[in-house]
Amino acid sequence: MKYFFLFVLLLCNALMSQEWIDRCIDLAINSRFNQAESLLTTRLDDGDSSLDVYFYYASVLNSRMTHFENNDYQKEFYKALDRVIEKGERLLNDDTNDFSRAQILFYMGSAYGYLGFYQGQIGEWFSAVRNGSKAHKFLLQAVQTDSTIWDAYLGLGAYKYWLSTKVNWIPFIPDEREEGIALVKKAIQHHPHSRFMAMHQLVYILLDYGDFDQAEMVASTLVKNYPESQFMYWAYSHVYMKKRDYNQAIAAYKKLLQLIEADDSANPNHRITCLARLADMYARSGACLDAGLIKDQLQQDDYFINHRDNEEVEELLSRISELCNK
């Protein structure tokens, strides 16, 4: 199971304090994609052609595709982002004040960021790198134009951190991980609307950086504020797995499993992955009887039997067999 949503809502923010944007973000965080999409298509049908409505529409489509691990809305996703970029280019030619110009630059940078993320997912690496570079350029111009475009610091910080981490084998790429973390924290500190998405991104950054205790503090705040969010509970559970705090990890994955099973429109692959991770935590903690019961349950599951294409689950089951000699 990939870190679903790792970058999906990375740039989902609220530059303007509009109730519909906050509602859109909350619905997406809680995996209520039909409701979020309906909210946005209603605005489009009512004649709203602003940059933000097309941006959030693309965000929800991207979130839906990542959550369900498919490309069903690719055409609509590309079309919405093209509208953001094309309209943004036209608006930049108008006489605008610095704040308005910075907003336009922000939305354009975020649109390129989504393109880069999505293209990376589907293996179009050249396009992904090119659009990621454009995203960085526009986001940097946004904060240079108006330093109070706080949400842009989230995108910039994540870009700096993950670039330093993923391409550290290239000699001339500087290590900007600490600067990246500081920029993400700046977004959290200054902008209440996007703080939870910035905190979610920070959890994975801190885990990669090795600061497990701080990651736990941030993740605990997330599930306290979004107790029914599978999105937040994946991050929360992952913290305890990385910390090797198996008792806490078991409790967290149990809660996540409850959320998945209570969701009529859940991705069935998430249930299989969550069960496998739960069994793995039991096995690592020495509770082989519990691990074996879950493993047996999985091997009798119709969905699992007919979809033996989850490499992580297969690896986890093999490790459980090694740890528990069964």
pLDDT band at 191 (very low <50, low <70, confident <90, very high): confident
How many CA within 13 A on the CB side of residue 160?
Answer: 21
Least confident of 30-39, 166-175, 264-273, 284-293: 166-175
With 0-12 CB in 10 A as exposed, 13-18 as middle and 19+ as buried, what is 208? middle
pLDDT of residue 170: 62
Q: Which amino acid is at 152?
A: A
Ramachandran sector of residue 66 (left: φ over 0; alpha: ψ -120 to 50; beta: rest): alpha
Give the position of tokens 């991705």.
Answer: 267
Eight-class DSSP state of 15: S
Report d(CA 220, CA 233) in Å as an integer. Answer: 9
* Residue 241 reports pLDDT greater than 60: yes
pLDDT at residue 6, rounded to an integer: 40
Length of the chain: 326
pLDDT of residue 130: 93
Q: How confident is the model at residue 178 (pLDDT cuts 50, 70, 90)?
A: very high
pLDDT digits (tens, 9 = 90+) for 252-267: 999 999 999 999 999 9
Q: What is the model's pLDDT at position 51?
A: 94
CB atoms within 10 A of CB 120: 16
Residue 120 in this model has a pLDDT that exceeds 60: yes
3-class SS shares of the chain: helix, strand, coil, % to 5: 75, 0, 25
- Per-residue model confidence (pLDDT) at position 10: 44
Output the pLDDT for position 214. 98
Looking at the predicted structure, is the pLDDT value of residue 171 above 90? no
> What is the mean pLDDT of the segment spanning 280-295?
97
Mean pLDDT in residue range 171-195: 87
How far is 295 from 231, CA to CA, in rounded Å?
24
The model's confidence at residue 195, banded by pLDDT at 50, 70 and 90, is confident
CB 13 within 8 Å of CB 194? yes
The pLDDT of residue 194: 74
Confidence of residue 32 (pLDDT cuts 50, 70, 90): very high
Token code pair at residue 170: 């290239």
Distance CA 243, CA 214 (A): 11
Integer-rounded Cα Rg, in Å, for the chain is: 20
Q: Which domains does the chain have, with CATH numbers?
A: 1-194 (1.25.40), 227-326 (1.25.40)
How far is residue 216 from each of residues 17, 242, 312, measured CA to CA in Å? 29, 10, 23
Rounded Cα distance between 217 and 207, Å, is 12
Average pLDDT for the chain: 91
pTM value is: 0.91
Question: For 128-150, how does the pLDDT look when each residue is reduced to its tens digit (9 = 90+)?
Answer: 889 999 999 999 999 999 999 99
Q: Which of 160-164, 263-267, 278-282 has the lowest mean pLDDT?
A: 160-164
Given a cut of 60, whether residue 244 has pLDDT beyond it is: yes
Give the Cα-Cα-Cα angle 203, 143, 77 (nearest 5 degrees).
65
One-character DSSP codes across 171-195: TTS---HHHHHHHHHHHHHH-TTTH
- Strands in 98-142 per DSSP E: none
Q: What are 213-235's pLDDT values in tens digits?
A: 999 999 999 999 999 999 999 99
Q: For residues 103 and 123, give the distance between their C-alpha atoms in angstroms, rounded to a whole number.
A: 30
Residue 204 binned pLDDT confidence (cut-offs 50, 70, 90): very high
Amino acid at 201: Q
pLDDT of 89 above 80:
yes
Burial 229-253 (b: 16+ CB within 10 A, else e): bbbbbbbbbbbbbbeebbebbbebb
Q: Residue 4's pLDDT band (boundaries 50, 70, 90)?
A: very low
